Amino acid sequence: MATTLMNSSSNTQRTITIGYGPGYAKSDVWNTLKSKLIIPTEIVSITAAQRYNPALILLDHHLVREMDHAKWVEEFPDAIFLCTDSMGLDADLILTNTLPYRQTCKLLEMACYQWVLKSEKTERANLRDTSFRYLNKLADISISLSSEDDLMTLLRKILNEGQNIACCDAASLFLIDEINDHERDLVFKLTQNDSMEFPFEELRFPLDESSIAGYVAHTDTELNISDAYQLPQDVPYKFNRSFDQKTGYRTKSILAIPLANKQNEVIGVLQFINRKKARSLKVSDEKSAFAYTLPFDSDINILLRALASQAGIAIENTILQNDIKALFEGFVNASVSAIEQRDPTTSGHSFRVADLCVDLAGSVSASNLTRMRHVHFTDPEVRELKYAALLHDFGKVGVRESVLVKEKKLTAGSLESIQYRIWLAQEKLRTIALRKQLEMYRAGNAVESELSLINAQAEADIKLLNEFFATIVEANEPSILKEDNKEMLDKISGYNFEALDDDLQIITEDEFNLLSIKKGSLSPSERKEIESHVVHTQSFLNHIPWTKEFKNVPTIAGAHHEKLDGSGYPYGMTADQIPLPSKIMTVCDIFDALTASDRPYKPAMGLEKALDILRIESKQGYLDSDLVQIFIDAKVYKCIENTVYSSANSAGGTSNHPCAHDLHEHN
């Protein structure tokens, strides 16, 4: 009989309860079948059957009269049923013990065997369902962990999922920190506890075998401890009871699993504490710890190992991703700082514009303006805009420094050359006057009045040359050219002294053209060179292998000088062609050029004047009016007010900021 009760898949014995109706009570077979494996129990009603929940039920006429066979099957779907009708026998045969003994035993044996097979099938189905659920859960966890790029959020997810799987009260995570090639620390990075709240402070301690987490990390060994207070005497590690002593908590069961990376190198430890009978139970003291906690069993441990395997790789990937992000951020910041060293007076401009752009993008997402109501920038899109803003002027590296930092209209050294020419002309005038006077003395017809006239004419010409130079000096300034200075320049350009050689020019044609610049310090060709920085920027950025989420950085940066009416550069794009992030950058770039940079033709202006210019530019169709309104209404400009970006401007000097020459006349 015992062989019929063996589980064929695991060779374990099963205990079977046989419930029989009163009609079978007098059979001698029950005394024979009584054992540790078979428990015969008389049931006189459905209530009794529900109490014992037998695996095998013998229905007699008494039980069938109470509820028909079909309803019995419906009530006990997992049971095996035998009854007078199913056995093809009269119940009186059993009542009178006239049924052959061996036939009765064989019949019951076959029924028990049938139940064993049925229960095995059910268990296998349940096991498949459980395995499928666990696999789905682990797959969901894997997807969730792999999509997280914030380290602390990832660590919290790992602990949460571990607590859900293990149904445990607390969990902690430790990471190994490589100080150098010969020294490593174990960092207590995060802990969570369902039963109590407490202040957490990250701790660091040497990586050795003296602690449970240290032992697991150092030896790459899993530890399953049923009671942390009852450790064997011969183990090298000890349980630190300081937390329990401070809080009254009682740590009992512990499962500590090493976290490994793709190279199977241990990078940390995942520690689960106090597995519970139910997640909702609170372990607040020793009594509740003993009442509610359980050891970590093998089935749960398998799942937690799988979680630890996923977690180790996810942590390594996140740390690596963050390192790469930090490296790239450092590269961008260093690149911007380096390029701005060529133009120290605008140092900090790109960082300010980036901060303004990020703030304006956030304000656009929160805006209720009709056209912007459905515009919501995602975090990657904001970062994309930030990188484009940081690098938007990188193309200045392709602009000659003499043009980039040109303070006056004339090129370096030209004014000194003009002054030398004037000094030379003045000396020639004096020499010519003296020569004329000497000839008069030699001829003996020197008349005082004529000599004085020669001196007066020479002094008048010398004075005029001084006036010419004063006009040239004033016209050389990058302020707006005065009309009288323009007339004087025409006079200087066409003026000839009869006494001087015909080939002596005070200013050359190129110098005249530069001095005639109406506003600023750049000639048309120099302005084109400044404007070319956008093309250089986009060309440079196109050489960077941007990831998918940042692929639009070159396009955004390359359009920040375009205007809605098509009057911008370098492509003359119109409103529907310009990307919204570029429109945002244009507003922020112009605002900073007005308020933070000393422009060649006027000093930086005040806030209200700058905002007025933005309003005017938007009304005239150059800037996006909604973006300008949001910029002003949300007071985006305040995001840079109390931040120190650079002290370079304090050194003085001027520069040809690209945006400064991109503005229309408002004065």
Specify the DSSP element, H or E, that contains 42: strand 38-42
Return the CATH number at 624. Answer: 1.10.3210.10
- State whether 228 and 113 are in the same domain: no
pLDDT per residue as tens digits for the range 628-638: 999 999 999 99
Return the CATH number at 76. Answer: 3.40.50
Answer with the one of 520, 538, 560 that is the final residue of a domain: 520
Joined together, the tokens standing for residue 326 give 């930090």
Residue 175 lies in a domain: yes
Confidence of residue 575 (pLDDT cuts 50, 70, 90): very high
Percent of the chain with pLDDT over 70: 80
Residue 335 lies in a domain: no
- Predicted local confidence at residue 17, as pLDDT: 78
- State whether 300 and 424 are in the same domain: no
Specify the DSSP element, H or E, that contains 273: strand 266-276
Query: What gap in Å lies between CA 149 and CA 85, rounded to an integer?
Result: 68
Encoded amino acid at 530, one letter: I
Confidence of residue 503 (pLDDT cuts 50, 70, 90): low
Query: What gap in Å lies between CA 156 and CA 453, rounded to an integer?
Result: 99
Residue 185 has pLDDT above 50, yes or no: yes
- State whether 242 and 355 are in the same domain: no
Question: Contact at 8 Å (CB) between 90 and 84?
Answer: yes
- State whether 423 and 566 are in the same domain: no
Over range 534-538, report the average pLDDT.
89
Question: Contact at 8 Å (CB) between 33 and 40?
Answer: yes
pTM as predicted: 0.64
Answer with the one of 461, 486, 520 that is the final residue of a domain: 520
Residue 368 has pLDDT above 80, yes or no: yes
pLDDT per residue as tens digits for the range 54-81: 877 777 778 888 888 788 888 888 787 7
CA angle, 298 then 300 then 306, to 5°: 105
- State whether 208 and 177 are in the same domain: yes
Residue 334 lies in a domain: no
Answer with the one of 123, 158, 189 that is the final residue of a domain: 123
Confidence of residue 151 (pLDDT cuts 50, 70, 90): confident
- State whether 207 and 269 are in the same domain: yes
Residue 445 lies in a domain: yes
Q: Give the residue numbers spanning the domain of 31.
A: 2-123
Q: Could you tell me which residue, 332 or 587, shows the higher pLDDT?
A: 587
- State whether 212 and 271 are in the same domain: yes
Query: What gap in Å lies between CA 80 and CA 112, rounded to an integer?
Result: 8
- State whether 156 and 295 are in the same domain: yes
Question: Contact at 8 Å (CB) between 597 and 649?
Answer: yes
- State whether 451 and 419 are in the same domain: yes
Query: What gap in Å lies between CA 592 and CA 631, rounded to an integer?
Result: 12
Query: What gap in Å lies between CA 156 and CA 172, rounded to an integer?
Result: 10
- State whether 294 and 153 are in the same domain: yes
Encoded amino acid at 76, one letter: F
Return the CATH number at 208. Answer: 3.30.450.40
- State whether 51 and 19 are in the same domain: yes
Residue 328 lies in a domain: no
Over range 536-544, report the average pLDDT.
90
The number of domains in the chain is 4
Instruction: State the chain's mean pLDDT as an integer.
Output: 81
- Predicted local confidence at residue 313, as pLDDT: 85
Query: What gap in Å lies between CA 337 and CA 343, rounded to an integer?
Result: 10
Lowest mean pLDDT segment, chosen from 24-38, 328-342, 365-379, 430-444 = 24-38
SS3 (DSSP) at 187: strand
For the four alpha carbons of 110, 116, 120 and 121, in that order, the dihedral sign comes to: positive
Residue 332 lies in a domain: no
Residue 200 has pLDDT above 80, yes or no: yes
Residue 14 lies in a domain: yes
Q: Which residues lie across from 171 on neighbouring strands?
A: 192, 272
- State whether 36 and 96 are in the same domain: yes
Place of tokens 């002290």: 647
Residue 329 lies in a domain: no
- Select from 57, 1, 67 the least CA-distant residue to 24: 57
For the four alpha carbons of 276, 279, 284 and 287, in that order, the dihedral sign comes to: negative
